């Protein structure tokens, strides 16, 4: 099922370049309105992050959707998972998020959630794509959709997030530095952690449309690491631009990535026997797999991307999954990845155990990993390339079952990602450079 417009997470690109143009986005809204109208469901929720082009695309989507005869509810700047939650709560036909997540301000994208608060199934995406290629028509004036704004969206989502944290606990006594990336969490995250009792020091909460993810947030945690040390805080929490990813910084200024956060949540859930297994990705650190195995917990590896993590979680019936990037899905309380909900899960583990982040992470020893991006000039079948396969065989024998090799074409760049992971750092360095050289020769 090849797609013309949809990637693994909606439609994304540079603003002003096809398909991220006002004309295309209006047609996309019209196509979605038509598809859901056929199903007899005509209320569509639209949210966005804080990048300047969001206003333009919000208007374009509104025009297309109402022209198709569907109604629009606009909620303004809100985290991506908030749109998923509100779509499900209001029994809407779908939710649309205008966001390019952790990308710079000059990119943008359109992401969809179904009425169940999860990513759209393939058949619906393909039907929307088919409608995009149809001539755009406008329903009779009496049948045009209506548009309105939801004024209490932030309050609803704040209360939902707080409800995922146990009533018998509070964050009183914790000093937390929050980095909201000048993005979609800038209003709701400070309120949530403050209302749960924490002393909150806010950073990157002054969006101007151009500064989203600019040297701040989950993708640039250095400023947060310094702020935690400067303020003598217990920890720091950083979100990305649309709030579906999270990273932590401990009291010593050390960064915790998604693998370590998954481990902390899984260990806490294991105490109450509410975790059967965890879904990671091909990029999840070997240390996570070994630490979970030691506790009798299976790690299932999915392809990179939250869509594939979600698929494996459903397939295996697991409620916890995520990526090293900090995109963590807690299906026991939420339908999609949610940075704030995941953060509250980690904080619950801290509060219930009385341990610091340093203590909680100590049971997982990250294995050395190195990745080299090899630019692709000519497309080559590496599976059938004898020199590449011989190099893989030599390195596999050298690793002796105590490491991993991964060759993966990038989905966003013309490169092959060459990764080696093992418990010996020198072996990792030598092996990845050897294999990268062989791959480089093969594709040049």
424 pLDDT band (50/70/90 cuts)? very high
Mean pLDDT of 167-182: 97
Average pLDDT over residues 365-392: 90
Please report the pLDDT score of residue 360 as a whole number.
97
Look up tokens 């403050």; give the residue.
194
pLDDT the model gives residue 77 = 98
Determine the average pLDDT of the residues in 218-233: 97
For the CA atoms of 65, 112, 28, 76, the dihedral, rounded to the nearest 10 degrees, stands at 50
- Evaluate if residue 411 carries a pLDDT over 80: no
What pLDDT score does 38 carry? 83
How crowded is residue 354: how many other Cβ atoms within 10 Å of its Cβ? 7
DSSP secondary structure of 174-201: -EEEEE-TTSTTTTHHHHHHHHTT-EEE
105-130, pLDDT tens digit by residue? 999 999 999 999 999 988 999 999 99
pLDDT for res 8: 77
Order the strands of the 403-409 sheet from edge to edge: 369-375, 415-422, 403-409
State the pLDDT at residue 288: 96
pLDDT of 413 strictly over 90: no
Round the average pLDDT of the chain to a whole number and report it.
95
The two tokens of residue 96 are 């649309």
All structural domains of the chain: 11-151 (3.40.120.10), 156-255 (3.40.120.10), 257-361 (3.40.120.10), 369-443 (3.30.310.50)
Q: What angle do CA 188, 248, 111 make, to 5 degrees?
A: 50
- CB atoms closer than 10 angstroms to residue 304: 21
Residue 361 has pLDDT above 90, yes or no: yes
Average pLDDT (367-376) is 93
Identify the CA nearest to 84 among candidates 125, 114, 49: 114
For 205-219, how does the pLDDT look when each residue is reduced to its tens digit (9 = 90+)? 999 999 999 999 999
How confident is the model over 290-346, as pLDDT tens digits?
999 999 999 999 998 888 999 999 999 999 999 999 999 999 999 999 999 999 999
* pLDDT of residue 187 exceeding 70: yes
Task: State the pLDDT confidence band at 149, using cuts at 50, 70 and 90.
Answer: very high
Predicted confidence at residue 414, as pLDDT, reads: 82
Cβ–Cβ < 8 Å for 442, 382: yes
Looking at residue 2, what is its pLDDT? 67
* β-pairing verdict for 71-77 and 107-114: unpaired
Query: pLDDT-derived band of residue 168, with 50, 70 and 90 as boundaries?
Result: very high
Q: Report the catalytic residues.
A: 101
Predicted confidence (pLDDT) at residue 1 exceeds the cutoff of 80: no
Straight-line distance from the first to the last Cα atom of the chain, in angstroms, rounded to the nearest whole number: 30
Please tell me whether residue 274 adopts helix, strand or coil conformation.
coil
Give the pLDDT mean for 76-97: 97
Q: How large is the average pLDDT for residues 261-278?
A: 95
- Token readout for 93 is 């036909």
Over range 397-419, report the average pLDDT: 87
| pLDDT, tens digit, 9 for 90 and up, residues 41-80 | 789 999 999 999 999 999 999 999 999 999 999 999 999 9
| Mean predicted confidence (pLDDT) in 237-261 | 98
Q: Half-sphere exposure of 232 toward its Cβ, with a 13 Å CA cutoff?
A: 1
pLDDT of residue 402: 85
Q: Residue 376: name the closest of 420, 435, 439, 313 by CA.
A: 439
- Per DSSP, the three-state class of 8 is coil
Q: pLDDT value at position 333?
A: 97
Residue 412 pLDDT class (50, 70, 90 cuts): low
Whether the upstream peptide bond of residue 321 has omega within 30° of 0, thus cis, is no
Separation between Cα atoms, residue 368 and residue 365, nearest integer Å: 9
pLDDT value at residue 444: 83
Grouping H, G, I as helix, E, B as strand and the rest as coil, residue 395 is helix
E strand segments, 79-149 = 94-98, 107-114, 147-149
Q: What is the mean pLDDT of residues 247-252?
A: 98
């Amino acid at each position: 099922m090849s797609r013309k417009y949809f990637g693994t997470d909606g439609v994304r690109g540079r603003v002003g370049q096809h398909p991220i143009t006002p004309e295309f986005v209006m047609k996309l809204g019209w196509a979605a309105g038509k598809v859901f109208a056929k199903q007899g469901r005509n209320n569509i929720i639209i949210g966005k992050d804080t990048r300047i082009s969001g206003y333009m695309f919000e208007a374009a989507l509104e025009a297309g959707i109402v022209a198709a005869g569907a109604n629009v509810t606009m909620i303004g700047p809100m985290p991506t998972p908030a749109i998923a939650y509100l779509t499900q709560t209001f029994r809407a036909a779908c939710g649309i998020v205008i966001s390019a997540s952790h990308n710079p301000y000059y990119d943008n994208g359109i992401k969809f959630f179904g009425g169940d608060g999860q990513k759209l199934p393939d058949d619906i995406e393909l039907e929307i794509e088919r409608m995009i290629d149809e001539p755009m028509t406008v329903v009779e004036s009496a049948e045009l959709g209506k548009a309105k704004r939801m004024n209490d969206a932030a309050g609803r989502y704040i209360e939902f997030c707080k409800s995922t944290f146990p009533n018998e606990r509070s964050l009183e006594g914790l000093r937390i530095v929050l980095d909201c990336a000048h993005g979609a969490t800038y209003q709701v995250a400070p309120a949530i952690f403050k209302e749960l009792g924490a002393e909150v020091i806010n950073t990157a909460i002054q969006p101007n449309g151009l500064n989203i993810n600019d040297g701040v947030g989950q993708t640039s945690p250095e400023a947060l690491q310094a702020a935690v040390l400067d303020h003598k805080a217990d920890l720091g929490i950083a979100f990305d631009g649309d709030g579906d990813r999270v990273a932590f910084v401990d009291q010593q200024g050390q960064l915790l990535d998604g693998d370590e956060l998954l481990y902390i949540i899984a260990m806490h859930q294991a105490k109450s026997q509410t975790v059967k297994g965890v879904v990671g990705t091909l990029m999840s650190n070997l240390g996570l797999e070994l630490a979970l195995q030691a506790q009798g917990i299976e790690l299932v590896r999915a392809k990179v991307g939250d869509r594939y993590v979600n698929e494996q979680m459903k397939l295996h019936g697991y409620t916890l999954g995520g990526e090293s990037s900090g995109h963590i899905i807690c299906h026991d309380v939420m339908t999609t990845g949610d940075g704030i909900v995941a953060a509250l899960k980690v904080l619950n583990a801290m509060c219930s155990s009385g341990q610091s982040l340093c203590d909680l992470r100590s049971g997982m020893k990250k294995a050395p990993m190195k990745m080299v991006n090899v630019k692709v000039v000519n497309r080559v079948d590496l599976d059938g390339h004898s020199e590449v396969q011989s190099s893989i065989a030599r390195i596999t024998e050298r690793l002796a079952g105590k490491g991993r090799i991964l060759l993966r074409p990038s989905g966003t760049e013309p490169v092959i990602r060459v990764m080696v992971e093992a418990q010996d750092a020198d072996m990792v360095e030598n092996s990845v450079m050897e294999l990268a050289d062989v791959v480089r020769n093969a594709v040049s």
